[in-house]
Amino acid sequence: MSPAWTTEVQDIARTERLLVALDFDGVMAPLGDDPMAVRALPETTAAVQRLVTLPDTVVAFVSGRQLADLRVIGEHTDDSAVWLAGSHGAEHWRPSGVRLATEDVTVGDDAERASGADALVADAERAIDGIPGAWIEVKAYGFALHTRLSAEADAARAQAVADALVAERAPGWRRRTGKNIIEYAWRHEGKDTAVARLRAETGATAVLFAGDDVTDEDALRTLGEGDLGIRVGDGETAARVRVADPLELAELLTALADARAS
């Protein structure tokens, strides 16, 4: 019996120029307690490697991770053909020699970073120090509060402390929630803008986007009629297709490569 998504995959495989945009954590790789120990499944890696060899097919990782960390966990080398959008689209990496369908656009400027950002991050670290399981990840444009290892009450306390601190000191920062994480950033780009920029730069005639979390819904909601949104795992979604886990996504991407190659 064919998977429920077979028809949708065969349809998008026929587009002239395809952009395959993928979140990383929970999509290419299962979620892990140590964020920097996460690695893609061999099956998802193999599917991506097949896709990037096909004509008029671009693969991009679109992640909330800062670019430097995304390259580490993605085992992404300088000669990779995979495009990157890190920090929810505030950072970008393009393969060497790529000719963009549109001119590259610089989004924001580090020289204009929010006043007092470093001090705020340091104060956030001190504020949640001692709350079991809670820790701060310093990011390129702010910070993330992780509570994956916290008991429910401790997680709620850490979130309340961080929320209060940011509301008082930086009310203009963007707040994003995810699975056992809250991110605060002075840059306001989202995965919707990241996918839109990738679509323009690649000249894609259709986009397949796969994500597993709340921040991915920003991009899923913006997809058009000829695009394909995929939700990995449970949760409310605007996606047309749902797969159980990264392993089933690897099956879907492999089927996409087969259909596009033929």
| pTM reported for the whole predicted model | 0.81
pLDDT in tens, 12-46: 999 999 999 999 999 999 998 888 999 999 999 99
Q: Do 187 and 176 form a contact (C-beta atoms < 8 A)?
A: no
Contacts of 7 (CB under 8 A, 6+ apart): none
* Tokens 């679109």, residue located: 62
Our CA angle for 11, 15, 19, nearest 5°, is 105
The yes-or-no verdict on residue 143 having pLDDT over 90 is yes
DSSP assignment, residue 24?
S
DSSP assignment, residue 224?
-
The class of domain 115-185 in CATH terms is alpha beta
Q: Do 89 and 197 form a contact (C-beta atoms < 8 A)?
A: yes
Smallest Cα–Cα separation from 13: which of 56, 77, 61? 56
The model's confidence at residue 105, banded by pLDDT at 50, 70 and 90, is: very low
Structure-token pair, residue 151: 């008991």
Structure-token pair, residue 260: 């596009």
Residue 148 dihedral angles phi and psi, to the nearest 5°:
-60, -35
pLDDT in tens, 54-72: 999 999 999 999 999 999 9
pLDDT in tens, 209-258: 999 999 999 999 999 999 999 999 999 999 999 999 999 999 999 999 99
CATH architecture of the domain with range 6-106+189-261: 3-Layer(aba) Sandwich (3.40)
Residue 108 pLDDT? 45
**Which residues does residue 206 pair with via DSSP β-bridges, in sequence order?**
18
pLDDT over 70, % of the chain:
94
* Tokens 């952009």, residue located: 19
DSSP H stretches of helix in the chain:
6-13, 42-52, 67-73, 117-128, 152-169, 191-202, 216-220, 246-261
Containing H/E element for 241? strand 241-243
Q: For the chain, what are the domain ranges? A: 6-106+189-261, 115-185
Q: How far apart are CA 235 and CA 69, in angstroms?
A: 26
Residue 109 pLDDT? 47
Residue 163 pLDDT? 95
**Which residues does residue 256 pair with via DSSP β-bridges, in sequence order?**
none
